[in-house]
Amino acid sequence: MTLNQSGWRPEMGGAAQAEAATYTGNRALMLEEALIFELGDCQTTGVDIAPAPKVASRLGGLERTRDIGLPGLSEPETVRHYTRLSRQNYAIDLGLFPLGSCTMKHNPRLNEKVARMPGFADVHPLQPQATVQGALAVIDELAHWLITLTGMKAVAMSPKAGAHGELCGILAIKAALEARGEDRPVILVPESAHGTNPATAAFAGFRVESIPATPEGRVDFAALTARLGPDVAAVMITNPNTCGLFERDLKRISDAVHAAGGYVYCDGANFNAIVGRVRPGDLGVDAMHINLHKTFSTPHGGGGPGSGPVVLSEALAPFAPIPHVVRHADGHFHLVEEETAGAELPNSFGRMTAFHGQMGMYTRALSYILSHGADGLRQVAEDAVLNANYVLRQLEGVLDAPFAGSGPCMHEALFSDANLAEGFSTLDIAKGLIDEGYHPMTVYFPLVVHGAMLIEPTETESKAALDQFIGALRSVALRAKQGDPALKSAPHFAPRRRLDETLAARRPVLVWSPPALAEAAE
Amino acid sequence: MRYLPLTPADRQQMLAAIGAQSIDDLFVDVPAEAQLDGPVHGLPGHASEMAVERHFSKLARQNLVASDHPFFLGAGAYKHHVPASVDHLIQRGEFLTAYTPYQPEIAQGTLQMLFEFQTQVARLFGCDVANASMYDGSTACWEAISMAGRVTKRKKAILSGGLHPHYVSVAKTMAHFTGDHLETARPSLSAETDSAQLIDAIDGETSCVVVQYPDILGRVEDLSALAARAHEAGALLIAVVMEPVALGAIRAPGDMGADIVVGEGQSLGVGLQFGGPYVGLFACKEKFVRQMPGRLCGETVDAEGKRGFVLTLSTREQHIRREKATSNICTNAGLCALAFSIHMTLLGERGLRDLAALNHARAVQAADRLAQLPGVTLVNQSFFNEFTVKLPKEARPVVQALAEKGVLGGVSLGRLYPDAADLANGLVVAVTEIVSEEDIEALATALQEVLA
């Protein structure tokens, strides 16, 4: 069959034809796209570069002789390549994105505009400080509101993402213990914690011990306090926790941990549920990271960049990392770096990143905070919690909600895979939701629930959007309970059917090779 | 509030459906004493777009913008011209507002982009494989040291004096807490690097040697001998590349025997942004792939046999392995990796080589011009687009005085090494394609005036 250049042909059409193969492999707006290595070549470029003046090389005899193998595309080809790729992604801009613990809320475009102002985007991190006072003012202003919103003493701004923030908090705790001359090798982590918590503790050289949850989905206070002792450095607690519940006992836990000489680290990934209503500082927390890319809506960008400032209690503030912005009485801002840290922050545990952190995220987050204001932020928490409870109560009749009896949830609702038909799983429900036009919820996390499905709708969804999602999920759940075989092979309508992840791991292909080489390697 | 779609009537209806009297009923698990009884202290009410934009415009005007001035700063962050289509494409909502591609059937755009990015980075660095990005160059550098420890089961790393001092600081912070042992040094204002000393220092306890290429003073040298000695002792060679454009002109570290090559990808696509977000690059030999940190994208097929991409080898990662993971990293720098990859695709090999040639030529012109100034000497024998000059006086106040004249004239070694008197007169000057011959003349003139 030759490619039809002229458009629609009347003899086509009908349901059977929809299944017919096309010449291109495309299905109308669902467009296949090759790799740049298959499209481009090393002589093509999409950038016009002025000829270099003739000079004698000073490259030390290291001139590159071997080809690199980097294909180029002209600008129109480049724009088309990435536009086509983008259309194979789901995104918040397309619809509800209910990933639990990820807070996929709308990303206001004002924040994009502000971050791109040349005064912030086109400034070098090592410019003389007198030439970057406005940038330092943004950092200081955001720091002020993060401290105020959390009721803490200080904030370390530089961590690059949530897990980097966790590392910052844990290093501050280790430094504080060192200053006290104590070696406490153990960190307690509830079994419902994010994987980054135990990984961070181990990365910083601690031994991790797990604390069980109660049947109602909260940290087991008795088990935790029983384990406290002179070898325990800290407890890492997520609040609200990953079961979507507020840890009611957190203040009591903090008091017990402090009495035993330890510190309380709070994973702030779920701060969205309480922002503007609850201050973690009032609950005895010593350190908490704030994912600016969650609560304060800096875009996730397909997996980053994030930003993870860490608020610190009075006990940990002296150990904060450098650099650190301070405001002098005359209104002038100053960056504490290695040079003056000895005098200004003598107990700082040191530097965590090359420069000052994620400036591009600070502008966006501050723009978000100022746009919402005190009333708006409180409304964010309330609407996020309202939306999650609405989802919980509308779906608990069709999906098992193991902690629904524990009272209202916070910003996310948790379900399990109980009562599905034989052979059907959480994964099938997730893939069925894809065909309904949704990104699935977080699946198989937290680990404390079998086949977990964690739904976080966020506050930026309308009631109509929630109702449609609830209807879709109810329909898919019923199919899973009735054992609809078509669900086992979902998704049917996505750019790809289920992908073979086992094959990818067993025979890793991580870079492109020309077909001949790829065959030879097999 | 413009970002919140629920109406008061919606809220009432939803509360009724839940069986709650008021929103406070949903916060019943929060102890009363932990609840704020009023608005957040000092924070005004919600503000219009216009009001917020004005606030930021005012602050933005207080900064000296790189594009508005003759600009010569580098030392780990470089200003290049970024084609307009890069920023346009990364603002496609399907890239900008997507999450980590955990559901591959509806994330092929991000996944294919990452696969292309990994291939570009691996080829540029002369390595077999690369990951899907780290936070930035400095954290990638520590991750490489940490990985070398896992591979060799040794805990002593030797860091060259030519490694960016902030990268050394980051490594020191981490090593202090993990119990790794670091041998560090400072550079000297000379054309010679410390690789001879590094070669002597490698012993049977050494896990890795870390060198920057080009180094903090801009010097470039062949790493082959260092690689050979490291391998002889069972250690790894880690090379750190802060200016990937350099590799359009000079040999790749992987081609000279480096086992792990990490870098800062900011200079392509990302922009200065006062230090972040940037994008960490991480590549290595294939045999070490299971010890790598961070996400990896791999090729596979779907149920119909079509090619597709997934995140793979996740059993290295925190969400599966928890405390036994190779790193705690989760979120990386996906959108910056996209910007890097688009810029690289626009350049292609020919564009990258032309760009590198232009950078080098401009830098040579600038170095020769500055070396004519009375009392100014060029430290480097070799360099790419960044070199160090020794001034007849302390460089730090000179940089400030240049800024007052509207010239952003470089990075003083005094800023980077505040305690090193022997480095205080050093000025590191970066010269990319954005620098015109007039800019070089402006710097030379202003510098001469300041030094007079």
CA dihedral in degrees (A344, A348, A353, A358; nearest 10)? -60
Q: Are A381 and A274 in contact (CB under 8 A)?
A: yes
In a domain, B182, yes or no: yes
DSSP character for A54? P
Tell me the chain A residues in contact with residue B140 when contact means C-beta distances shorter than 8 Å.
none
Of B305, B325, B343, at which residue does a domain stop? Answer: B343
The residue among B402, B401, B399, B378 whose CA lies nearest residue B390 is B378
Tell me the chain A residues in contact with residue B135 when contact means C-beta distances shorter than 8 Å.
160-161, 164, 304-305, 353
Residues B334 and B362 in one domain: no
Residues B338 and B361 in one domain: no
In a domain, B1, yes or no: no
In a domain, B56, yes or no: no
Residues B411 and B366 in one domain: yes
B120 Cβ neighbours under 8 A, 6+ residues apart: A70, B340, B341, B344, B345
Best to test chain A binding among B26, B33, B105 (most A CBs inside 10 Å)? B105
Residues B171 and B297 in one domain: yes
Residue B404 is part of a domain; what is its CATH number?
3.90.1150.10
In a domain, B156, yes or no: yes
Residues B200 and B325 in one domain: yes
Residues B74 and B88 in one domain: no
User: HEC states along A100-112?
Assistant: CCCCCCCCCHHHH
pLDDT score recorded for residue B320: 81
Structural domain boundaries of chain A? 111-365, 376-503
Tell me the chain B residues in contact with residue A145 when contact means C-beta distances shorter than 8 Å.
43
pLDDT reading at B229 higher than 80: yes
The answer, for B191 touching chain A at a CB cutoff of 8 Å, is no
For residues B129-155, give the mean pLDDT: 97
Per-residue pLDDT of B254-277, as tens digits, reads 999 999 999 999 999 999 999 999
Please determine, for the modelled complex, whether the ipTM score is greater than 0.90: yes
In a domain, B263, yes or no: yes
Residues B108 and B173 in one domain: yes
Q: Are B334 and B110 in contact (CB under 8 A)?
A: yes
Residues B288 and B433 in one domain: no
Q: Are strands B129-130 and B280-284 parallel, antiparallel or unpaired?
A: antiparallel
Chain B: residue whose CA lies nearest to A164: B329
Q: Which of the listed CATH numbers 3.10.150.10, 3.90.1150.10, 3.30.2020.30, 1.10.10.350 matches domain A376-503?
A: 3.90.1150.10
Q: Are B223 and B200 in contact (CB under 8 A)?
A: no
Residue B50: which pLDDT band, with cuts at 50, 70 and 90?
very high
* Residue ranges making up the domain that contains B336: 84-343
pLDDT score recorded for residue B74: 98
In a domain, B128, yes or no: yes
Residue A324 — φ and ψ, nearest 5°?
Answer: -145, 130
Q: Which of the listed CATH numbers 1.50.10.10, 3.40.640.10, 3.90.870.40, 3.20.20.450 matches domain A111-365?
A: 3.40.640.10
Residue B326: which pLDDT band, with cuts at 50, 70 and 90?
confident
Q: pTM (2 decimals)?
A: 0.96
Best to test chain A binding among B22, B43, B223, B380 (most A CBs inside 10 Å)? B43
The answer, for B285 touching chain A at a CB cutoff of 8 Å, is no
pLDDT reading at B285 higher than 60: yes
Residues B373 and B262 in one domain: no
pLDDT score recorded for residue A17: 45
What are the structure tokens assigned to A498, written together?
């289920």
Of B293, B312, B343, at which residue does a domain stop? Answer: B343
Q: Cβ of A508 and B313 within 8 Å?
A: yes
Q: Between helices A75-86 and B108-125, what is the axis angle to 10°?
A: 130
Q: Cβ of A375 and B1 within 8 Å?
A: yes
Of B324, B343, B362, at which residue does a domain stop? Answer: B343
Q: Are A170 and A200 in contact (CB under 8 A)?
A: yes
Angle at A49 between CA A43 and CA A52, to 5 degrees: 100
Residues B385 and B418 in one domain: yes
Please report, in angstroms and rounded to a whole number, the separation of the first and last CA atoms in chain A.
33
In a domain, B317, yes or no: yes
How many structural domains does chain B have? 2
pLDDT score recorded for residue B316: 86
Per-residue pLDDT of B382-428, as tens digits, reads 999 999 999 999 999 999 999 999 999 999 999 999 999 999 999 99
Best to test chain B binding among A511, A513, A519 (most B CBs inside 10 Å)? A511
Residues B217 and B354 in one domain: no
pLDDT score recorded for residue A19: 62
Mean pLDDT per block of 10 residues along chain A (522 residues) reads 43 49 92 96 97 97 95 98 98 97 97 98 97 98 98 97 95 97 96 90 93 92 96 96 94 97 96 96 97 96 96 98 95 92 93 97 98 97 98 97 93 97 98 98 94 98 98 98 97 97 96 83 60
In a domain, B3, yes or no: no
| % of chain B at pLDDT higher than 70 | 100
- Shortest distance, CA A450 to any CA of chain B (angstroms): 16
- Shortest distance, CA A10 to any CA of chain B (angstroms): 29
pLDDT reading at B112 higher than 50: yes
Residues B169 and B269 in one domain: yes
- Shortest distance, CA B346 to any CA of chain A (angstroms): 4
Q: Cβ of B354 and A49 within 8 Å?
A: yes
Residue B171: which pLDDT band, with cuts at 50, 70 and 90?
very high
Residue B299 is part of a domain; what is its CATH number?
3.40.640.10
